[in-house]
Amino acid sequence: MQQLQCGRFRLPVGATDRPLVMGVLNITPDSFSDGGHFFSLEAALSRAEQMMVDGVDIIDIGAESTRPGSPPVPLAEELRRVMPVLYALRDCGKPLSVDTCKPEVMREVLHAGADMINDIRGFGLPSALEAVKDSDCGLCIMHMQGDPQTMQSAPQYVDVVAEVGAFLRARVMAAEQEGIARARLCVDPGFCFGKTLAHNLDLLAAIGDIGGELGLPLLAGLSRKSMIGAITGKPVETRLAGSLAATLFAITQGARIVRVHDVAEMVDAIAVWHAAERRAAEQSSSTSSNK
């Protein structure tokens, strides 16, 4: 059974396991989808409690917006936002991921009980890998071209699938060279982080190849993103159906963890998909054994 070492938890991420739902908890005033909704401690904890009722597997706490054009948040402000929420939730019974690229934040949240670090820069900043190597936290290594302020201005690739795969492979190798076990790693192609609609669709069609080549669990974050809006013509608040469709397609291509805003709906969609998938596998096995 393939498992992801995630701090205090061992998460099942094998090909036949139910895909895991990572719920987004943005404690920012300016995130693209729900900025300001859960900015207060009370609102953030209420949202986390609802996600747990809805069946979330991992809670991903983000204190710095990464929407296109967003400015960086000072270190002290990011810590001021994230630490009270982390302390309040660390005994909730669910793995807690922190979405950050700052090594100083990584050290502080790991000391406070975080189980996973989700880094949009792929642990590429100086001392980022050093900050996490001696813990047992999970690491999500993501690809991004440029930075949040400029990434969507004019993203260009010769071969987006090959280039994203090469970046993730290099960052995985760098982590291993620091002595970080592969069992702690998962990878994210970074949908809409420095990609056009065409780039995103190319990646979505090929993420199984990327994950298969690396031999690591693949995380897909498609929820409410601009590519959904570009295809459907819908604003952020009405992209649920498109998000579910894209995420389920990612699962069929091999995604083992999906990062979503709408936890209850995604949990139900996966439950139905997984039940049908298992029955199809059982019937296929039965047919083969009777031949």
Q: Catalytic residue, from 18, 81, 94, 259: name it.
A: 259
Per residue in 182-199, pLDDT (tens digit) is 999 999 999 999 999 999
CATH for 3-289? Answer: 3.20.20.20
CB-based contacts of 245, cutoff 8 Å, min separation 6: none
What is the CA angle 218-172-183, rounded to 5?
65
Supply the pLDDT for residue 71.
80
Per residue in 84-138, pLDDT (tens digit) is 999 999 999 999 999 999 999 999 999 999 999 999 999 999 999 999 999 999 9
**pLDDT of residue 37 exceeding 60:** no
Supply the pLDDT for residue 29.
77
Share of the chain above pLDDT 90, in %: 81
User: Catalytic annotation on 259?
Assistant: yes
Q: Catalytic residue, from 47, 225, 239, 256: name it.
A: 225
User: Catalytic annotation on 291?
Assistant: no
254 versus 65: which is more confidently predicted?
254
Q: Which of 190, 196, 32 shows the shortest CA–CA distance to 121?
A: 190
